Amino acid sequence: MVEIDRITGLPKDLLDFGEITKESQKIKIREVAKRFGKIVTLISGFEDVKEAKRLEKEMKRKLACGGTVKENEIVLQGKHMQKVKEILMANGYKGELIDA
């Protein structure tokens, strides 16, 4: 039996708003030189802090680097522009809306 949402009256499997927001978010990826010539990769444009933290954890694990989330922006140590774009596309973000 399909579970019905009390507010909208529609089946809950139709109401996956997380996927809809992923498909419409414009993400920017850029590489910046910080102190002592160290390169960091900045990924910005996330609406949800929880989603940014989840992606940051996954990227750190897959790319074997350090990183953090600061004000809805993921900061990764090192040059990872292409690999980050691939990870974002694998997580449901549109390639056309990722500015790398």
The count of domains in the chain is: 1
Q: Looking at residue 81, which CATH number applies to its domain?
A: 3.30.780.10
pLDDT at 20: 61
The C-alpha atoms of residue 44 and residue 65 are separated, in whole angstroms, by 18
Tokens 């790398």 locate to: 100
For residue 53, is it within any domain? yes
For residue 11, is it within any domain? no
For residue 9, is it within any domain? no
For residue 45, is it within any domain? yes
For residue 52, is it within any domain? yes
Low-confidence ranges of the chain (pLDDT < 50): none
The C-alpha atoms of residue 87 and residue 13 are separated, in whole angstroms, by 25
Mean pLDDT of the chain: 87
The count of residues in the chain is 100
pTM: 0.77
Structural domain of 50: 26-99
